[in-house]
Amino acid sequence: MTDASIIDGKAFAARLRERVGQEVARLKDDAGLTPGLAVVLVGEDPASQVYVRNKGKQTLEAGMQSFEHRLSESTTQEELLDLVETLNADPEVHGILVQLPLPEQIDSAAVLDTIDPTKDVDGFHVINAGRLATGQDALVPCTPLGCLMLLRHHLGDLSGQRAVVVGRSNIVGKPLAQLLLGESCTVTIAHSRTRDLPAECRNADILVAAVGRPKMVKGDWIKPGATVIDVGINRVEGEEGKTRLVGDVDFDEAVKVAGAITPVPGGIGPMTIACLLANTLTAACRARGLPAPDLTL
Ligand SMILES: Nc1nc(=O)c2c([nH]1)NC[C@@H]1CN(c3ccc(C(=O)N[C@@H](CCC(=O)O)C(=O)O)cc3)C=[N+]21
Ligand SMILES: [Mg+2]
């Protein structure tokens, strides 16, 4: 059998950012409105710093304003809530992202639920989770949205497909399951307590791995010809003490069995950032009572 085709998330994300940039330019000309994204980073986690830098750079490249707030590791919950409230009230800020994970003295759920739901470009507020689950207009979490865009582009209509999502986080697994249900897939959410996980995965026409365990999904867990979406971004020790990124899927095995597969890096990661920009554009339009542009490629 021939190897799986590689779904190029990096290239797709670049085109999506281009589209967002066009719409931002149009919004400036037609409505005098420049979308703005505020990113809040608490602490010094080096990996988080890289994401924040990439997000800031790509936000500016798309013609949006980027506001960065770096707070110390010892920031109190009250200080962080004060900042979120200031950003909620700032008319130049259309999107707010508080980078996770937060230090242990902070109640993450309380912080996320303080963000104005109309500015919640991560889609983590309970209002947005509820709107997604009930099929109303929501700001949709960026990683699941990126997965759905690649699946739609690669497969077209998804209706009737058997989708297995491995992982049940509020950030990826649960919202992605909702999105796939909205596309009329038959959806299973599997997780660490699932009995005979490999057999469950072998049922999938669409298999999504979002567990945060390097190379957990093996080739013999995959139905021949299935579409495999690898959400994992795991830093592991490589040669000479260097770190490298691997997914939750054993790519070398999976590529021999799957019909199509997303790589790590260059798959879902870049889509997450592109969808963050798309959500910021959507939030800015809605703040002005304008329709959000259609960004399907
Ligand atoms: N509130 C919040 N929202 C987030 O969306 C969020 C977060 N917190 N905390 C951290 C995680 C992680 N995350 C990534 C986004 C893009 C890449 C990405 O673009 N990765 C590149 C590689 C980057 C590299 O080489 O380091 C790739 O997969 O090709 C990675 C990781 C968003 N996160
Ligand atoms: Mg789990």
* pLDDT recorded at residue 118: 98
Is 51's pLDDT higher than 90? Answer: no
pLDDT band at 244 (very low <50, low <70, confident <90, very high): very high
Residue keyed to tokens 């940039």: 21
Q: Is 225 left (phi over 0), alpha (psi -120 to 50) or beta?
A: left
Using a pLDDT cut of 70, give the percent of the chain over it: 100
Ligand 1 pocket (Cβ < 6 Å) reads 50-51, 97-100, 122, 142, 233, 245, 264-266, 269-270, 272-273
Q: Which residues are annotated as a binding site?
A: 167-169, 233
Cα separation of the two ends of the chain = 30
**pLDDT tens per residue, range 62-93:** 999 999 999 999 999 999 999 999 999 999 99
ipTM over the 0.85 cut-off = yes
pLDDT tens for 147-160 read: 999 999 999 999 99
Domain limits, CATH 3.40.50.720, in the chain? 141-269
Q: In CATH, what is the architecture of 32-116? A: 3-Layer(aba) Sandwich (3.40)
| CATH superfamily ID and name for 141-269 | NAD(P)-binding Rossmann-like Domain (3.40.50.720)
Q: Are 55 and 93 in contact (CB under 8 A)?
A: no
Q: Catalytic pick from 116, 120, 122, 250?
A: 122
Q: What angle do CA 205, 267, 19 make, to 5 degrees?
A: 105
Q: Which residues pair with 212 in a beta bridge?
A: none
- Provide the phi-psi class of 246: left if phi over 0, else alpha when psi is between -120 and 50, else beta: beta
H or E element at residue 296: none
Residue pLDDT, tens place only, 151-196: 999 999 999 999 999 999 999 999 999 999 999 999 999 999 999 9
- Residues of the chain within CATH 3.40.50.10860 domain(s) are 32-116
